[in-house]
Structure 1
Amino acid sequence: MEFNKHIIYNYLKEIGLSDSLATYLNLITLSIISLVIIYAIDLFVRKIFRIISVRIAKTSKTNFDDILITNKVPTNVAHLVPVFLLFELIPVIFYDFEYLKNFFTKLVLIISILLVINIARSILNSLRDYLKKLPRFKDKPIDSYIQVFMIFAWFTGFILSFAIITNQSIWKFFTALGAASAIIILIFKDTILGFVASIQVSVNDMVRIGDWITFEKFGADGDVIEITLATVKVQNFDKTITTIPTYALISDSFKNWRGMVNSQGRRIKRALYIKTTSIHYLSTQEVEKLKEIQLIEPYLSTRQEKIDQFNTHNNIDKSLLLNGRNLTNIGVFRKYAQSYVENHPAVNKEMMIMVRQLAPTTQGLPIEIYAFSSDKRWKNYEYVMADIFDHLLAAIPHFNLEVFELSTDFKVLNSNQ
């Protein structure tokens, strides 16, 4: 065995070179030959692994092996063969240089650790790409899980590399790590917070990829496109990208519109402000005039009949409209608005429909429309809501009502202040 390690050295000695020169030339020659052999073997093994993996991918029914090839898993695994061969050749190449043999032995071991981590990363990336194509995993934060695993993988690789370089026990490293834990926590505070937040977001199902969220603190209003260990990326409706720290999702308040998207309608909740001075009791002539409106004619006939019966039975003096029971223009308009919204073809009839009166304000009396559009798409939803309020705004004068607006004098006074 010793002869094989010194075959070039012996030849150099025979041709008359000095011992020192023959030793260094032996080292250089063996190094060059070994590198050429290892490079050739690496190319050959990679080609073999590539051919085998492609053939397996063509015959298999799943596309997971295709994803493995795309993420270079066979190529990375093939690198293990030349690295193992290099590890075996180091004692031969550096037989006469003990310190170099120890150095390169440690170097190859560290390279092996990095290579294994790289193989694990490429496999996890392949698994991520495969799962994201499945409907049940499409909206899950798979990137966060992979990043958590890779943190542990790199941490383990760092510990093993440290033990190899220092020739120290791993337990001694953990002892030193415990003493410096406060500094480590301070340095990796954001990573630790992101790790904890990522787990809570996933376990509590707070956010999924594809969810529409509104986060006013960060100016985010759009769809979640990526969830990682440290950040959540939101593509706003103006196509800008907002990056939110993951831990902010559990420390601050935000709105997730998933419930609306998964429901059967999108809520319409908007009010018309009626000028209070335009509200009054309806006279008999006004009631008869309003009966021309087909949508509320049955209601007015039935309601007026009951009111007349009540007033007659109780001998109410109707010379003053205030006496007894009466219809008001605001009440009839509210009934009209209720009937109109209930009959609107774009409103979901299975969900709540309500036209209600809110507390009076300095801007008038709010009449709020509360209903749900069947079409949840933003553009169509806005069209439905505008269509309803276009009609109601145009209908208000027919009930001798007025919409509240700031007077010109008030606007001028307010602008001069």
Structure 2
Amino acid sequence: MDQELRLIISQWLADSDTLNNADSNTYNLILVVLCLSLAAASYLLVKRIVIKAMKLMSVRSKVTWDDTFVAHGVLEKFALLVPLLVIDILLPLFTVLSPFITDVFGRLLSALLVVLFVRAVYAVLNAIAEITDKHAATQRLPITSFLQLIKLFLFFVTAIITISILSNQSPLYFLSGLGVATGFIMLIFKDTILGFVAGIQLATNQMVTKGDWIQMDKYGADGTVEEVSLTTVKVRNFDKTITMLPAYALVSDAFKNWRGMSESGGRRIKRSLFIDIQSIGFLTKEELQRLSHIHLLKNYLADKSFDINTFNLDFNEDEQAVNSRGLTNIGTFRAYLLAYLQQHPKVRKDMTLLVRQLAPTTQGMPIEIYIFTDEIRWAFYEDIQADIFDHIFSVLSAFGLQAFQQPSGNDVQALRHKPPQ
């Protein structure tokens, strides 16, 4: 194709009387003007007609991905290749130039073509990254990291090809030289290489993806991942600050990823309330009668009372509490909490649901609530948790129980003014 165009232009120049009668300087000047004019005309033709038509088609199309390519200037960057290709085709016609100058210009032109072509490919990759970032289905895929890997590969390939063109050497010559410099490169760029390898591990194993909530106390990171690159991870903390984590830190150190919580649709509540041990005791008949009116406890009290009465009749006729079984206020309270949580509309029944008694401490008897809500959004989750514990603290007195708390200033003052017994 190039040879045919050159033959056509050479034949036209040979048939031109003006050029045949001109001296070498005039001939050379006319060729330069002709070459630049054809290059400019080809660029304007592509930009004013081809690109304009393609942009018009993009505006009228129903899809949006083509608009992204237009916004990144992909068409304009590829259009810059056209005038350079025209000059490259016409360059051998400059017979008045020495072979050395023609060779130098040719190599410079070829190197520039390679650089501009890769620049246009970079624009395509940037457009692809933006398109995938807008779609929820591809947001969690490590596409950005792989695109950066492709860019890095293209950068090294472009550098080697460009240097080989300018030096008129084979690319294999420079590739063989890289082996000698590998140790030196690894010593200088150790952190960069570690981050690069870690970034590939994060991307391929999907340890961290965009939109994840991660927590890494060592670096003060606690928020949503906004960007995952080959060397860094950008986290927007909940206090609106930004933390940039090195990729290798996420591979070498421990961090917490809350993605599982988001994907499961349930968020855990694990909180204890401390009961004053002095308020724990057996229920009296009057208290049992009063508690039997609580709907959530009717079946429990009936079944438990039957079991306890049967046991006491069969094995012991002594009515003293220490010699017989009896219902305690804290045990009945635990049964009430379990029944209350099982019928709560915001508590997940298909996940762990526990009300358990922990080992006593100096702060009293801990009763732990271990459940999952059906709401993972922070504000709504906190509302559900607060409502549950508001209710729990409000019903404590109905069971004759008291919550433990450290003595405050008012408590100490009341003890000071309390008259001696």
What is residue 296 of structure 1 aligned with on the other side?
297
After superposition, residues 11-410 of structure 1 pair within 5 angstroms as 34-35=35-36, 37-57=38-58, 62-91=63-92, 95-318=96-319, 320-408=320-408
Instruction: State the distance in 2 between where 1:171 and 1:302 align.
Output: 86
Deviation at 1:116, TM superposition (A): 1.2
Which moved further from structure 2: 53-62 or 156-165? 53-62
**Contact preservation (8 Å) 1:307, 1:326:** yes
Letter in 1 for 2:349: K
1:107: Cα distance to partner?
1.8
Per-residue Cα deviation, 1:360-394 (whole angstroms, up to 9, x for no partner): 22222210111111222211111010000011112
In the TM superposition, what is the alpha-carbon distance from 1:403 to its structure 2 partner? 1.6
The alignment partner of 2:218 has SS state of helix
Number of matched pairs: 399
Q: Distance in 2 between matches of 1:384 and 1:59?
A: 49
> Gapped runs of 5+ residues in structure 2?
1-9, 413-421
TM-score normalised per structure 2 = 0.84
Give the TM-score taking structure 1 as reference length.
Answer: 0.85
Deviation at 1:72, TM superposition (A): 2.0
Aligned pair in 2 of structure 1 residues 148, 95: CA closer, same or farther (>3 Å)?
Answer: farther
1:325 CA displacement: 0.8
Q: For the structure 1 residues 193 and 177, does the alpha-carbon distance in structure 2 shift closer, same or farther, using more than 3 Å as the test?
A: same
Distance of aligned partners of 1:191 and 1:120 in 2 relative to their CA distance in 1, 3 Å threshold:
farther
SS at match of 2:281: coil
SS at 2:356 equivalent: strand
Contact 1:148 1:195 in 2 (8 A): no
Q: Secondary structure at the match of 1:347?
A: coil
Judged with a 3 Å threshold, the aligned counterparts in structure 2 of structure 1 residues 64 and 298 are, in CA distance, closer, same or farther, namely closer
RMSD: 3.0
Distance 2:352 2:66 in 1: 51
- For 1:337 and 1:208, the matched residues in 2 are separated by 39
Counterpart Cα distance in 2 of 1:164 and 1:259:
52
CA distance in 1, matches of 2:229, 2:311: 69
% identical equivalent positions: 41
The separation in 2 between residues aligned to 1:148 and 1:215, in whole angstroms, is 26
The one-letter code matched in structure 1 to 2:174 is: F
Where 2:300 maps in the other structure, the secondary structure is helix
Change in 2 beyond 3 A, CA 1:299/1:64:
closer
- Of stretches 356-365 and 126-135 in structure 1, the one that deviates more from structure 2 is 126-135
1:19 alignment counterpart: none
- Secondary structure at the aligned position of 2:268 is classed as strand
Q: Which runs of 5+ in 1 are unaligned?
A: 14-21, 413-417
